[in-house]
Amino acid sequence: MTATPLGPGNEFDRIRAIATALGQAGSGLGDDCAFLPDGWCASTDVSNEGVHFRREWLSSREIGWRAAMAALSDLAAVAATPAGVLVALSTPSSEPIESLVELMAGVGAAAMACQSTVVGGDLSTGGALSLAVTVLGRAERPVRRVGARPGDGLWVTGMLGGARAALRSWQGGREPPPAARARFARPMARIREASWLASRGATAMIDLSDGLAGDAHHLARASGVGLAVDLEAIPVDPAVAGAEPWRDAAAGGEDYELLVTLPPTFAAGEQLVVETGTRLTRIGTVTTPPQVDFAWRGTPLTFAGYDHFR
Residues 79 and 191 in one domain: no
Residues 272 and 176 in one domain: yes
Residues 160 and 283 in one domain: yes
- Between 19-23, 219-223, 282-286, 287-291, the lowest mean confidence (pLDDT) is in 19-23
Q: How many CB atoms lie within 10 A of CB 36?
A: 14
Which of the pair, 68 or 18, is modelled with greater confidence? 68
Beta strands in the chain (DSSP E): 34-35, 40-48, 81-91, 118-125, 130-138, 153-157, 204-207, 226-230, 258-262, 280-287, 292-296, 299-301
Domain CATH code at residue 104 = 3.30.1330.10
* Backbone CA torsion sign across 14, 160, 130, 144: negative
Nearest Cα to 170, choosing from 254, 65, 70? 254
| Residue range 75-93, pLDDT digits in tens | 999 999 999 999 999 999 9
| Residue range 252-308, pLDDT digits in tens | 889 999 999 999 999 989 999 999 999 999 999 999 988 999 999 999 988 765 554
- Alpha-carbon distance 206 to 215, whole Å? 7
Largest CA distance in the chain: 58
CA angle 283, 179, 98 (to 5 degrees): 125
Counting the structural domains of the chain, the total is 2
| Residue range 245-262, pLDDT digits in tens | 998 899 988 999 999 999
Phi, psi dihedral angles at 136 (to 5 degrees):
-120, 145
- Alpha-carbon distance 149 to 239, whole Å? 34
**Quick one: pLDDT band at residue 19, thresholds 50, 70, 90?**
low
Q: Is residue 21 part of a domain?
A: no
Which of the listed residues 138, 168, 203 is the one where a domain comes to its end?
138
Which of the pair, 30 or 212, is modelled with greater confidence? 212
- Alpha-carbon distance 242 to 234, whole Å? 15
Domain CATH code at residue 288 = 3.90.650.10
Q: Are 229 and 292 in contact (CB under 8 A)?
A: yes
Q: Is residue 72 part of a domain?
A: yes
Nearest Cα to 29, choosing from 18, 40, 37, 39? 18
Predicted confidence at residue 303, as pLDDT, reads 72
Residues 46 and 133 in one domain: yes
Nearest Cα to 191, choosing from 117, 278, 282, 132? 278
- Which residue type, as a one-letter code, is found at position 263? P
Q: Is residue 17 part of a domain?
A: no
Residues 196 and 278 in one domain: yes
Q: Is residue 223 part of a domain?
A: yes
- Alpha-carbon distance 124 to 91, whole Å? 6
Domain that holds residue 90: 31-138
